[in-house]
Amino acid sequence: DQVVWSGDGGAVYFYQCECPYDVASEWADKGYVAYRVDEGVRSHIAYGIGVYTYFRDHEVWMETAIRTPAVVQGSIVQPFLTFLNGHGGIRSTINGIGPGVGKAGGFELQFFNNDCSWECRPATMHRSWWIWLVGILIFVLAVLLILALLRYMGVCNACGRRSAKRDGSDSESANDTAAD
C-alpha cells in the first residue's frame, strides 16, 4: 500500500498518488492499493483523492485504488483515477465500486462522482447542519454586538453621524440659547 491511514477523525484534502511504475502483476495480486483506511477506523474524511497509474513494464491490474471500511466509504468524496499510459490499470475506484481506468491506449481520466448520490454521502454530512446553524448564529450575534457598540458610542445607525443627543440634551437648542 502507498498510504495507510490508521487514526480516527482524520481529514485529507487533494491527496495524489502515483502507483509504482515497475511492479509486476504479483503486486496487484497481493491486494495493494494507493490509499487504505485501516479496518479499525470509524471516522475519516477525504476530498479529491487522485490515483495515477503508469504500469510501464508489466500488465498489472489493481482491483481497486482505494480501500476503506464500509462505515468510512461514503466520506471519501470525489475520488478520481488517471491512466497515464503503459499496461493494465485499475478496475474500480473504491472498494470495488466506481469506474476504473486502463489499457485505453493513452491518457484516461475517470471521476467517481459520489457527492451526488444518496448512498455515498459522507457519513458526517447529515450532522453538519448544526455547524452551519452555529456559524449563522455567531454571525448574527456579532452584527448585533457591533450595532449595540455603535449605538453606545453615539453613532447614528442609519447615517453613521454622531447623535445630537449623546448626554440627553438637545445640542441645537443649547447653541441657539448661547447665541441669544
* pLDDT score of 33: 94
Residues above pLDDT 90, as percent of the chain: 23
CA dihedral defined by 123, 124, 126, 127, rounded to 10 degrees? 140
Which position has the higher pLDDT, 19 or 133?
19
What confidence category does residue 120 fall into, taking pLDDT thresholds of 50, 70 and 90?
A: very low
Residues 6+ apart with CB under 8 A from 10: 41, 44, 45
Look at strands 89-90 and 66-67 and give their pairing.
unpaired
Residues 6+ apart with CB under 8 A from 97: 112
Which position has the higher pLDDT, 16 or 123?
16
Q: Give which of 99, 54, 104 is closest to 80, Cα–Cα.
A: 99
Residues above pLDDT 70, as percent of the chain: 69
Question: Burial level of 38, CB count in 10 A (0-12/13-18/19+)?
Answer: middle
Terminal-residue alpha carbon distance, the chain: 92
Which position has the higher pLDDT, 152 or 119?
152
* pLDDT score of 61: 93
Condensed to tens digits (0 to 9), the pLDDT of residues 37-68 reads: 999 999 999 988 899 998 889 999 999 999 99
- Rounded to the nearest integer, the mean pLDDT of the chain is 77
C-alpha span between 75 and 43 (Å, rounded): 8
* pLDDT score of 43: 92
Which position has the higher pLDDT, 69 or 148?
69
- Whether 152 has a pLDDT exceeding 90, the answer reads no
Average pLDDT over every residue of 120-127: 44
Which position has the higher pLDDT, 83 or 131?
83
C-alpha span between 69 and 123 (Å, rounded): 12
Cell of 122: 459522507
Average pLDDT over every residue of 138-148: 85
